[in-house]
A and B are shown apart, each in its own frame.
Chain A
Amino acid sequence: MLTFTIRRLLFAIPTLLFIALVIFLLLELAPGDPMANVPLTVPPEIKEQMRQALGLGEPVHIRFWKWIVQFFWVEPLNVFDYLFDTNFADGRLRIISWQNRAPVFITIAERIPQTLWVVGTAYLVAIAIAIPVGIYSAYRQYSAFDQVGTFVTMIGFSVPPFFSGVLVIIIFAVQLRWFPSIYDTRLVVDSWESFGMQVRQMFLPVMVLALQITSQLSRFMRASMLDNLNQDYVRTARAKGLREKTVVLVHVLRNSMIPVVTVIALGVPAIFGGAIITEQVFKVNGIGQLLITAIQANDLPMVQTLTFIFAVLIVLFNLIADVLYGILDPRIRYD
């Protein structure tokens, strides 16, 4: 297993370099001008100087190489400096956002907590609901519970967050005034009261996202349980005189969780990716919103860096899913 993991990590390096190149070239091909927002009164030669100052005068391969060096060497050095109070990174140019001229990673670090709080909580809530619901729906297939579950799931599947988000804002924020409709990033959680505020402002976006994720996961869990409930080994377990609880929650669940855990692991990068639409609807200034505004402003270093981070996370969690698969299913051996 360890050899497998190391080999996969080594294979990930060329994969990621290739992904970085593809992202870079795609952004290069994309239309749009970073100077487009500069007022028309600025003379063209000044604009040209500004473009040169951003490094846009250099050929493509030089700019790609510089970004690679900044991402893999300068930024880690900065992290090291920050952690151990050294100054190895002094004088080296970091990846700078074209929008606000601040290092990209500092902006990302500012945005990550909101996204992790809202989207991460939604993911955990979804898992906590979906797994028991999926188990019970499968065990009592076609029961009233299962039928209601199927109906709610279909709604969760088919109603997009930009609709359900606005709907819950109108009902719970505008009409009933139970929850705020806007996420306030400045809120500092330092007391029970402010914690309550935080929970309240998170509630609506978390519920909207959780509905969607729960729908997908519970269907998946149900299908996986159904696959296993009719297996011969379940009959064997019953013939041994085991309690129904043991049969379902030990024998069947352990087998059913194998594909579900993989799906959960593969879904984790999406948490960091944020929920672009939900974050927009509830004004959560997380990663998703950052990406959208960066795209609109032609902030290529920001878009390139964010997209590449997502790629790294996806590759990483694919590896984690594979390793988990090997741990959960004894039939799979990577050595």
Chain B
Amino acid sequence: MPDGDTRNVLEVRGLRTVFETRRGEVHAVNSVSFEVKPGELLGVVGESGSGKSVTMMSLVGLLPSPPAEVREGKVLLDGEDLLQVTPARLRDIRGSDVGFIFQDPMTSLNPVFTVGFQIMEPVRRHMGLNKKQARARAIELLELVGIPGAAGRLSDYPHQFSGGMRQRVMIAIALACDPKVLIADEPTTALDVTIQAQILEIIEDLRSKLGMAIVWITHDLGVIAGIADRVAVMYGGQIVEHAEVFPLFNDPRHPYTRALLKTIPTVSGKRAAKLQVIEGQPPMLGAAPTACAFRDRCPLAFERCHAENPQRETVGPGHDVACFHPLAHTAKEGAA
């Protein structure tokens, strides 16, 4: 775990992203703030549609615009606001200072170019290496992510790799230019469990070797518990709870976090309990939220939740919750 006083490599303040569709606006990201320090792994969890991926893609302008529009906020990468820089500067940052890994390795690689070409592309673009140097770097990267016979596989096409191997190639591409921040958007969701474990191991290993900050998006709480330093729980395009990993799992304060943790099925015990679900659907916000996004599914909702959007408030060291009556440690219901 990094020292508390290290400066933040990535700092996001009040990010707000809106999609303009034919049926009106969709407010996908609402005043999201978080920060990551070098070498730290921030887990971002939430169900589908909670705005996790959209938040991360907003950071470096990866969302198609139109329809997406980043309305407000600051994205400070080493103090440079990425929302203010020119598109050309942003392209220089993408793939060099900020690396991306996406969910589905089967479709994330271009099928008609060799793996070598696709790894060498960012290297040549950002590091200005010639063909020979780029090739050497590509081999180095493939060895780094544990692909056997790296030199011989450069001229292979993506379809000649298995899913896990392709995700390793994606990681190699993301790491090609020694990024300061690696954003991993559900990198193990599409993989089976053994491959998932291998990928997690590789990421952990690379994090200690290369010391980059990682933002890990997932809806798999088990994965997060294993690798994250801190966790941000997203719901309705907002971070509703944010804490270090142990307090979050041990002492969840937001009703949503608590409900989310209950949905993890247990296989131990005499007979596995019935699967827990959170009733209802996550909201699609047509306007900036004026009330708590979770109110309709929350067992503890009261009048104020319908009238006002709760802001994140500190409830413990490094632990904050956006709720009017954060659950107490043991009590079922906290004070309003």
Chain A residues close to B by CB (< 8 Å): 231-233, 235-243, 251, 254-255, 258, 328-331
Q: What would 14 more interface pairs be, CB under 8 Å, given A231-B107, A233-B108, A241-B93?
A: A233-B110, A236-B100, A236-B108, A236-B170, A236-B173, A237-B121, A238-B62, A239-B60, A239-B100, A240-B94, A241-B122, A242-B121, A251-B110, A258-B112
Asked whether, in the complex, the Cβ of B110 is within 8 Å of the Cβ of A236, the reply is yes
B78 surroundings in chain A (CB, below 8 A): none
Count B interface residues, CB 8 Å: 29
Q: Report the nearest B residue to A236, measured CB to CB.
A: B108
- Return the CB mask of B76-120 against A: 1 if under 8 Å, else 0: 000000000000000111111001101010011111110000000
Is the CB of B325 closer than 8 A to any CB of chain A?
Answer: no
B157 close to A (CB within 8 Å)? yes
Given contacts A330-B159, A331-B159, is CB(A237)–CB(B110) below 8 Å? yes
Say yes or no: is B13 at the interface (Cβ < 8 Å to chain A): no
The answer for the CA separation of A232 and B173 in the assembled complex, in Å, is 15
> Is B125's CB within 8 Å of the partner chain A?
yes
Cα A235 to Cα B104 in complex, Å, equals 12
Please state if A255 and B109 are interface contacts (CB–CB under 8 Å).
Answer: no
Q: Which residues of B contact A239 (CB under 8 A)?
A: 60, 62, 94-95, 99-100, 102, 174
Give the distance to chain B from A121, nearest Cβ to Cβ, in Å: 31
- Point out the residues of chain A lying under 8 angstroms from B110, CB to CB: 233, 236-237, 251, 254-255
Q: How far is the CB of B177 from chain A (nearest CB, A)?
A: 9
B94, A238: Cβ atoms under 8 Å? Answer: yes
Chain A nearest CB from B181 CB (Å) reads 12
The answer to whether A241 and B108 have CB atoms under 8 Å apart is: no
Chain A residue numbers with a CB within 8 Å of B121 are: 237, 240, 242
Take A242-B121, A255-B111, A255-B112 as given contacts and tell me if A235 and B102 are in contact as well, using a CB distance cutoff of 8 Å. Answer: yes
Cβ contact within 8 Å between B157 and A241: no
Contact A235:B94 (CB < 8 A) given known A240-B121, A241-B122, A331-B159: no
Q: Which residues of B contact A (CB under 8 A)?
A: 60, 62, 91-96, 99-100, 102, 104, 107-113, 121-122, 125-126, 157, 159, 170, 173-174, 176
**Residues in A neighbouring B100, C-beta threshold 8 A:** 236, 239
A241–B107 CB distance below 8 A: no
Chain B residue nearest in CB terms to A233: B110
- Residues from chain B with Cβ under 8 Å of A328 in the complex: 112
Q: Is the interface of B mostly helix, strand, loop or mixed?
A: mixed
Q: Complex formed: what's the CA distance from A242 to B122 in Å?
A: 7
- Tell me, in angstroms, the Cα distance from A231 to B113 when the chains sit together: 15
The 4 lowest CB-CB distance pairs between A and B, nearest first, are A241-B95, A241-B94, A239-B100, A240-B95
Q: Which of B95, B102, B112 has the most CB of A within 10 A?
A: B112
- The reply to whether B173 and A331 form a contact with Cβ atoms under 8 Å apart is no
The distance in angstroms between the C-alpha atoms of A277 and B170, with both chains bound, is: 54
A and B contact pairs by CB, cutoff 8 A, 15 listed: A231-B107, A232-B104, A236-B110, A236-B170, A238-B62, A238-B94, A239-B100, A240-B95, A240-B173, A241-B96, A251-B110, A329-B111, A330-B111, A330-B112, A330-B157
Residue of A nearest to B61 (CB): A238
User: Do the beta carbons of B173 and A242 come within 8 Å of each other?
Assistant: no
Complex Cα distance, B110 from A145, in Å, reads 28
Q: Which residue of A lies closest to B92 (CB)?
A: A241
- Closest chain A residue, CB of each to CB of B95: A241
Find out whether the CB atom of A233 lies under 8 angstroms from the CB atom of B111.
Answer: yes
Given contacts A239-B100, A330-B112, contact A232 B159 (CB under 8 A): no
Contact of A233 with B91 in the complex, beta carbons under 8 Å: no
**Residues of chain B within 8 A of A240, CB atoms compared:** 94-95, 121-122, 125, 173, 176
Cβ distance B46 to chain A, nearest Cβ, rounded Å:
20
- Cβ distance A237 to chain B, nearest Cβ, rounded Å: 7
When the two chains form their complex, are residues A232 and B94 in contact, meaning their CB atoms are under 8 A apart?
no
Question: In the complex the two chains form, is A235's CB within 8 Å of B62's CB?
Answer: yes
B127: min CB distance to chain A, Å: 11
Q: In the bound complex, do residue A241 and residue B125 qualify as a contact, i.e. CB atoms below 8 Å apart?
A: yes
Contacts of B157 in A (CB 8 A): 330-331
From A232, which residue of chain B is reached at the shortest CB distance?
Answer: B107
Q: How far apart are the CA atoms of A242 and B117 in the complex, in Å?
A: 13
Q: Looking at the complex, which one of B91, B93, B176 makes contact with A242 (CB distance below 8 Å)?
A: B91
Q: Taking each of A231, A235, A243, which has the highest tally of chain B beta carbons within 10 Å of its own beta carbon?
A: A235
